[in-house]
Structure 1
Amino acid sequence: MKRHSWMYIAFGVLWLSLVLAVASMGQAWRGKGRVKGVVTDTEGKPLEGVTVRLWHVESEAGFETKTNKKGEWTAAFIRGGQWNIDFELPGYVTRKITVALKELGPNEEIRIQLQKAPTAAPAVPPELLDKVDEGNRLFSEGKYAEALAVFEKLVQDYPNARVLHFNIGNCYAQMGQFDKAIQHYEMSMEAHPNKDEVWIAIGSAHLQLRQFDKAVQALEHVSLEKIEDPNLLYDLGNAYFAANQLDKAIPAFERAVQLKADFTDALYMLGTAYIGKGEKAKAREVLQKYLQYDSTSDRAKEVQLMLRSLK
């Protein structure tokens, strides 16, 4: 009996070890770091209940949290390295970013704006309006799969209502299926009365897939003045900057700052682009404006060094 008891104990210890090992694998993102952020709409109003999904690239593990009434969120005890972070809220366009975070020392606060997701379907035959309204209502409630079913049934029954492919694309985009979203946006292009809106949606979806070349190709169909999302303009500017197309990056960053004066990320990149162009006076002006909104972070210290080098 004693031998059997020891066997049970040994088996129990082994089982517990396996459970702990699996649990530790699921929390491989844990470390000593910390990062916090704020999520607002495009008017600067805080958004509560935004799901913030954090994924540590190296450990292939992550977790999620939500914003409070002030739009604030915090992620504590995290490892350093590259993180993919998604921000999701029903009725808003999902935002995806990739950032490098430090485990030791402070990380910059991450400030994100979410844009309202388009819902209306233009130029729809009158006899379909009730069903379209039903689909739009479901979409605004965050019931994207149900809204998708409504719009797909309408397109199946009324093939000439091709404009509704735009609504289908919006549903797929909110569900994170950006490849399918792009397909349906393109199918709506001929029937959609606002081609700029379609190109912006296509470009935004390509950016979410990190297909920067294709995003640029789509967004170049639209004048920058037609783009009202500062985050989209910032991403477009970064795509141009990465391709060393500073003449195109600068107007995109300028437009982003025009829409959101305290957009420090855009101000920083705009100043950096001006330095790359050798336009020191404009770089100084932009970087000094940056310090009006951020004078204490690690990046602010970097900006101060940049300004000294421009004297």
Structure 2
Amino acid sequence: VNEQGEPLAEAIVAAMMEGFDKPFQQAKTNKRGEWTMENLADGKWKFYFGGVEGLEEKAVDVAVGGTGTVKVPEVKLGKPVDHNALVNSELQRAAEMMQTRQPSEARKIYEGLLVKYPEVPADFQGQLHGAVAQTYAAENNATQALVHLKQAVALDPSNTDIQLVYGEMLIQSGDRAGGEKILLAMDIEGVKDPLPYMNVIIGMINEQKSEEALALLGKLMTKFPNETSLYYYRGRANLAAKNLPEARADLEKFVAGAPPDARELDDAKKILEQLKDVK
């Protein structure tokens, strides 16, 4: 029947048994929308209904066995649904929930999309898991956020944004080795934000790996030439490497270009005071 409950004549019904890739039987509905099939073997079957112009196909699972007679529930064929439009509408609604600080409500939407559209491409599933992770992060639930970020990276390994967040959160949660492994394996050219690398650089400096820190900073500064904070961290790395003139030059550039509320500003000024006689 159609959405109004009216019988559909000449609709095509195809029966496919589980484990096979071709229909076993086909039939057409009569004027009352009825159809019959005979000699179906016992087992699990999927019946496909369609062939009506302007109406979307539908599939129904049916178990055949025992009496040999199976009654399939009434099937309604409706107009095709624009799933992309529905998904985009739901994503917009979830984004609005996040903006109004309702992460749990946003999470319900994202999780609902994962359940409703399991057939979507893996990269989109990964993005949804990444979005779920953001809702947990907004609630300071790093444990659950990391669970979904791990799934997101597995589903969409080429998504540098998700990898960046995953690596940063691993470091913040205490797994510095795991986070650094992810961040250092990434191609800097694909990175959109250098800030997650700051903890990696600080760790390198503290472990007296100043040359490694300088090498990483060189790549980041090539990619992000206008990121003033990188001069501060390169100044610190040069200081650790005993490159005092270079450290002073970098810190002076940072102080000259940093915003007044930059958290590193006071420390940079203190170091410069200590380096005032360096030439």
Tell me which interval the TM-score lies in, with the shorter structure as reference length.
Answer: 0.5 to 0.7
In the alignment, which residue of structure 2 is the partner of 1:133? 92
User: Which segment drifts farther, 221-230 or 288-297?
Assistant: 288-297
Amino acid paired to 2:91: V
Give 1:270 shift.
Answer: 1.7
Q: CA deviation at 1:202?
A: 0.1
- TM-score by structure 2 length? 0.55
Matched, 1:303 2:267: no
Measured in 2, the distance between the counterparts of 1:154 and 1:216 equals: 32
Percent identity over the alignment is 16
Taking a change above 3 Å as real, the CA distance of residues 286 and 293 of structure 1, as seen in their structure-2 partners, is: same
Say which structure, 1 or 2, has more relative contact order (CA 8 Å, 6+ apart): 1
2:190 matched residue in structure 1: 226
Equivalent in the alignment of 1:284: 248
Residues 271, 286 of structure 1: 8 Å contact kept: yes
Q: Deviations over 1:51-92 (max 9, x none)?
A: xxxxxxxxxxxxxxxxxxxxxxxxxxxxxxxxxxxxxxxxxx
Query: 2: distance between equivalents of 1:297 and 1:198?
Result: 33
Q: Are the aligned partners of 1:224 and 1:252 in contact in 2 as well (CA < 8 Å)?
A: no
The separation in 2 between residues aligned to 1:198 and 1:270, in whole angstroms, is: 26
Q: How does 1:13-28 map to 2 (within 5 A)?
A: none
Deviations 1:82-140 (A, max 9, x none): xxxxxxxxxxxxxxxxxxxxxxxxxxxxxxxxxxxxxxxxxxx6253332332222223
- Tell me by how many angstroms 1:184 deviates: 0.9
Deviating above 6 A after TM superposition, structure 1's stretches of 4 or more consecutive aligned residues are: none
Equivalent residue for 1:175, pick from 139, 148, 156: 139
Partner Cα distance (1:290, 1:239) in 2: 20
Supply the distance in 2 between the matched residues of 1:307 and 1:160 (Cα, whole angstroms): 63
Please report how far the alpha carbon of residue 216 of structure 1 lies from its aligned counterpart in structure 2 after TM superposition: 0.8
- Which SS does the other structure have where 1:151 is aligned? helix
The 1:193/1:305 distance shift into structure 2, 3 A limit, reads: closer
Gaps of 5+ in 2: 1-82
Q: Give the whole-Å Cα distance in 1 for the aligned partners of 2:104 and 2:176.
A: 28
Please list, as runs of the form range in 1=range in 2, the aligned pairs for 1:1-311 lying within 5 A after superposition: 126=84, 128-161=87-120, 162-163=125-126, 164-192=128-156, 194-253=158-217, 255=220, 258-261=225-228, 263=229, 266-292=230-256, 297=266, 299-308=268-277, 310-311=278-279
Q: Are the structure 2 counterparts of residues 142 and 219 from structure 1 closer, same or farther at C-alpha, using a change threshold of 3 Å?
A: same
Q: Distance in 2 between matches of 1:211 and 1:193?
A: 20
Q: Distance in 2 between matches of 1:215 and 1:259?
A: 25
| d(CA) in 1 for partners of 2:131, 2:161 | 12
Deviation readout 1:23-74 (Å, 9 max, x if unpaired): xxxxxxxxxxxxxxxxxxxxxxxxxxxxxxxxxxxxxxxxxxxxxxxxxxxx
